[in-house]
Structure 1
Amino acid sequence: MAAHLLGTRPAFLDGRPKQLLIDGEWVDAAAGETIDSIDPSTGETLGSVARGTAVDVDRAVRAARRAFEAGPWRRFTTGERSLVLNRLADLIEDNGAEFMHIDAMDMGTPVKFQQFLLGVTLNNLRYAAAKALDLNGATIPNSIPGGQVFTYTLREPVGVVGGIIPWNGPLFQASWKLGAALATGCTLVLKPAEQASFAPLLLGRLSLEAGIPPGVVNVVTGDGEAGAALAEHHDVDKIAFTGSTETGRQVIRASAGNVKKLTLELGGKSPDIVFADADLDEAVPGAAMATFVASGQSCMAGTRLYVERTIFEEFTERVAAFANSLKVGNSLDPDTDLGPLVSAQQLERVTGYLQAGQAAGARALSGGGRLTTDGNASGFFISPTTFVDVDDAMPIAREEIFGPVISAMPFADVDEVVGRANATSYGLASGLWTTNVNTVQRVTKGLQAGTVFVNNYGLADPAVPFGGYKTSGYGRENGHEQYDAYLNTKSIFLKTT
């Protein structure tokens, strides 16, 4: 992505309101309403999307049901499903610059990070294409007398899936839901976040170009009303949700009507632990970007930074210096390290936490407030903040802020820090920096989190499961565990004579 993109718009944002994708057709919302999308770097309106409601969700679910039960999709072989997923990945790669441009403007992640997110998306879909060929049942020896009964299992798609995704990484988040649904033979109604819907809509258009039949992929944009209607709908067989823990609780309650299958990837307040024997030249930028990447708008951000007491002052000063070296600016500037927060509402939330932290006695070694200089006055920018003089009871150390805010705290030994790291309702991710293999073994076994990053933070692979413990949700994205959740297992007892 080049500097000339500053001040330009991607072709997809042509000024026309974006419609809903239902049953292979682009249609207006039933109520005829739209929602504006704001460029968080400038505060200007990018365009608008249809405001879908429960009526539109019902239309999309009915289309997905028809496609699942009576359309050509049910006759696709595993090889044909794999082929269209690979075609879709190729189309996304061909349109990669457009997607990166859209997401940079729509949700504010800098273009230099968009290349990584595009790669994650392509890996997700190509892994899904491979998994479509490898979703096997089993033959099972049994203890039934006579030896005349053959027992085996079939793996069958659950049916209509509702995918509800957040605004932090709309393209790759959508690829998680779409890839697993299509690989397993399900159909999908995708509900993007209203703050960042353009990339999922373009994904829907390319799905049709890839040869995915009408009704198999539907995209309904809108606010929380549409998401709630999808979660409650009695003809949806599964919800795959990524978002906040509180909204996840609402999804659980909504699913009770027809006892939907659920996978929930929810919030986090992840610990990142640095021991004195760590390679500090790697750990300083690694621990800093564990929080600051995407301006802290990541569910797995390592925002609770525990540093061994003997190096605490040196390490936090180096993290603060690193934070001060980062360029905060327009997401389309190729030199920008940190872009804006996604919305004015998120800006208000994060600045509220900054004020509360300082009022409680925390001291900002870097940042600490809104950034309004260097052409950023109209955007939603926060300086990357490193707090010290923090204790575990402070809200900034307990609650998910979703902004570029580190709460740094010293510790004395392994048992202490593992206990403090686990003293949270969350359990999504965690980090560990040490050169001692014994420490690695003790800490990784002790941490109550779905992922532990050792001497890195944030690596991902589609074959490696990702998800949380405790209120960070259940079920997994990635790996065979994700695909199992989109399949029903049917047991067969066949008497041979």
Structure 2
Amino acid sequence: MEKSDRLPSYDLYIGGRWVPSSGPERFPTFNPFTRQPWATISQADASDVASAIAAARHAYETTWRGTSGLERGRLLFKLADLVDGSAERIGNLETTDNGKVIRETTGQARYLARVLRFYAGYADKLWGKVIPLDRGDVFDYAALEPLGVVGLIIAWNSPMAMLGNKAAAALAAGNCVVVKPSEHASVTTLEFCKLVEEAGFPAGVFNVVTGDARTGDALAKAEGLDKISFTGSGTAGRLVAAAAGRTLTPVIMELGGKSPNIIFADADLKKASTGAFAGIFGATGQTCIAGSRLLVQRIVYDEVVTHIVERAPAIRLGDPRMAETEMGTVANEPQFNRIMDYIGSAKSEGATLMTGGGRATGEALGDGLFIQPTVFAEVRNDMRLAQEEIFGPVLAIIPFDTEEEAITIANGTSYGLASGIWTQDINRAMRVSRAMRSGLVWINTYRAVAAQMPFGGVKDSGFGRERGEEGLMEFMTAKNVMINYSDDERDPFAIQT
């Protein structure tokens, strides 16, 4: 990073060095609270992407591939300590970049450190297995090996958490990485490079190329990658998967969601309503796991709606850097306009607007990209409001009568990322969780994460898993080795079994 007279200026990070992009183009990154640019970022082109991949490949073949798991773990543990020590600074930078409240961004920085430690502990325990075969004179084993060089494409809403989900596992497994952050929130990923350097990682193990969709397209199409892990919208994910398919590069897709949060009449309604509230208004609703569809059993429907509608206007909006602020801005202007379009569509479709529905204004909010916490009731599951991911603080409340109806509504979208169930009946909890077509089910909680748990979706929410042991295995491959130690001469014209 270089300092200009006006704004911090960030270059690309390739091969352990800060390098300018091949072309002269740069772009500003905007603070969504002040609506002012606060840093400038390099726009990488295809040649910069190729350079980053070449640097990663060189590091992998000459250094990282031969680095022991013990050493990889040591470096990751040291990096985790550095992240912990920088959590408040990282949180402030990320809040400035994407408008999320400081309590969330600082927590996500510390969560990144936790994920780094989780995978650091795995780095020297990646042994394979001996496989007993039918023949007693053949020794067979499967060894786990890294893939090589992987591309990581991350979204603007939680850069540090996503970096932990992807990079920590990839590095622990022995891969080198090329990271492409969102053009709307690149700064914390670039600042993270300084901590990677300080931790002592070899040059080229961790590389960052910045830019808009052109950079992402170049990375997806590039030769020399062994896998791509992408987090973003379904539309962008399809483009990445199609581009990667041209080079037969395998992909992990962590895409959107339209997650159902189901409240049954026997639930602890106070706890369930608070969970529903957190599921949609936490992080300003800008999270793929947002519980944007609240399904409430009709017998308690009015009570739950009343609780949420009374509480929503009291959410403290304001400067996201202030500890007392509960909900920050929308991350960028295109997303603000998108959310407002969905609110208009919901009104025209006949959903009942209970609260919110417009831009939030006030002296303390300035010109920031604030949207009022918005609640629609009497929503039908065939409405656009209930079928498409909005990615904002907009809740659709849908009534249901029976357990079977709740399951049908819950599974009645193209998405399948997360779901929530609120009930005190353990039998119902087990039945409904088994029926959910989603990669993640919360029971009597919502929007809770852990480094140990696998995360990912089904249907249009993507494929592959992040976090947990499953996330580590996504960045490894099994190599089988068969050793025949008999002295028998084989029949050259028949396969050996």
The aligned residue for residue 79 of structure 2 is 88
Gaps of 5+ in 1: 1-10
What is the TM-score with the length of structure 1 in the denominator?
Answer: 0.95
Partner-residue secondary structure (3-state), 1:131: coil
The aligned residue for residue 64 of structure 1 is 56
Aligned match of 1:267 in 256, 266, 269? 256
Structure 2 counterparts to residues 435-450 of structure 1, below 5 A: 435-450=424-439
User: Shift of residue 393 of structure 1?
Assistant: 1.3
User: Are positions 1:227 and 2:216 aligned together?
Assistant: yes
Does the aligned pair in 2 maintain the 1:121–1:171 contact within 8 Å? yes
Does the aligned pair in 1 maintain the 2:178–2:207 contact within 8 Å? yes
CA distance in 1, matches of 2:103, 2:251: 34
Counterpart AA for 2:282:
V
Aligned match of 1:169 in 158, 164, 170? 158
CA distance in 1, matches of 2:338, 2:15: 38
CA distance in 1, matches of 2:301, 2:4: 48
Aligned match of 1:215 in 195, 204, 220? 204
User: Shift of residue 118 of structure 1?
Assistant: 2.1
Partner-residue secondary structure (3-state), 1:375: helix
The aligned residue for residue 27 of structure 1 is 19
User: Are positions 1:178 and 2:170 aligned together?
Assistant: no
Structure 1 stretch displaced more, 258-267 or 209-218: 258-267
User: Are positions 1:36 and 2:25 aligned together?
Assistant: no
Aligned match of 1:315 in 301, 304, 308? 304
User: How many matched pairs?
Assistant: 484
Which deviations, in whole Å up to 9, do the C-alpha atoms of 1:209-260 show, x marking residues without a partner? Answer: 1111111100111001111111111111100111111111111111112211
Partner-residue secondary structure (3-state), 2:364: coil
CA distance in 2, matches of 1:400, 1:374: 31
The aligned residue for residue 105 of structure 2 is 114
Aligned match of 1:51 in 43, 46, 52? 43
CA distance in 1, matches of 2:478, 2:289: 32
The aligned residue for residue 493 of structure 2 is none
Structure 2 counterparts to residues 326-341 of structure 1, below 5 A: 326-341=315-330
Which deviations, in whole Å up to 9, do the C-alpha atoms of 1:68-108 show, x marking residues without a partner? Answer: 112x2222110000000011111111111110100111011
User: Shift of residue 109 of structure 1?
Assistant: 0.7
User: Shift of residue 114 of structure 1?
Assistant: 2.2
CA distance in 2, matches of 1:361, 1:243: 30
Structure 2 counterparts to residues 335-350 of structure 1, below 5 A: 335-350=324-339
User: Shift of residue 320 of structure 1?
Assistant: 1.3
Which deviations, in whole Å up to 9, do the C-alpha atoms of 1:183-204 show, x marking residues without a partner? Answer: 0110000000000001000111
Which deviations, in whole Å up to 9, do the C-alpha atoms of 1:464-491 show, x marking residues without a partner? Answer: 1000011101110111111111111110
Does the aligned pair in 2 maintain the 1:66–1:215 contact within 8 Å? yes
The aligned residue for residue 7 of structure 1 is none
The aligned residue for residue 397 of structure 2 is 408
User: Shift of residue 112 of structure 1?
Assistant: 1.8
CA distance in 2, matches of 1:54, 1:298: 30
User: Shift of residue 13 of structure 1?
Assistant: 12
Structure 2 counterparts to residues 114-193 of structure 1, below 5 A: 114-144=105-135, 147-193=136-182
User: Are positions 1:487 and 2:488 aligned together?
Assistant: no
Does the aligned pair in 2 maintain the 1:371–1:377 contact within 8 Å? no
The aligned residue for residue 104 of structure 1 is 95
Which deviations, in whole Å up to 9, do the C-alpha atoms of 1:331-379 show, x marking residues without a partner? Answer: 1121110000011111100011111111221222121111122332411
Does the aligned pair in 1 maintain the 2:144–2:479 contact within 8 Å? yes
Which deviations, in whole Å up to 9, do the C-alpha atoms of 1:387-440 show, x marking residues without a partner? Answer: 012111111111000000000011001001101110111000000111111110
Does the aligned pair in 2 maintain the 1:305–1:409 contact within 8 Å? yes
- CA 1:483–1:274 in 2, change beyond 3 Å: closer, same or farther? same
The aligned residue for residue 419 of structure 2 is 430
Aligned match of 1:474 in 431, 454, 463? 463
CA distance in 2, matches of 1:82, 1:166: 27
CA distance in 2, matches of 1:472, 1:137: 31
- CA 1:268–1:12 in 2, change beyond 3 Å: closer, same or farther? farther
Counterpart AA for 1:192:
P
Two-structure CA RMSD over aligned residues (Å): 1.4
Structure 2 counterparts to residues 274-289 of structure 1, below 5 A: 274-289=263-278
Gaps of 5+ in 2: 487-497
CA distance in 2, matches of 1:152, 1:332: 54
Counterpart AA for 1:94:
G
Counterpart AA for 1:41:
F
CA distance in 1, matches of 2:186, 2:397: 35
Work out the percentage of aligned pairs sharing the same amino acid.
38
Partner-residue secondary structure (3-state), 2:323: coil
Which deviations, in whole Å up to 9, do the C-alpha atoms of 1:30-61 show, x marking residues without a partner? Answer: 11211111111110111111111111101101
Structure 1 stretch displaced more, 386-395 or 254-263: 254-263
The aligned residue for residue 251 of structure 1 is 240
CA distance in 2, matches of 1:292, 1:364: 16
CA distance in 1, matches of 2:107, 2:309: 25
The aligned residue for residue 376 of structure 2 is 387
What is the TM-score with the length of structure 2 in the denominator?
Answer: 0.95
The aligned residue for residue 460 of structure 1 is 449
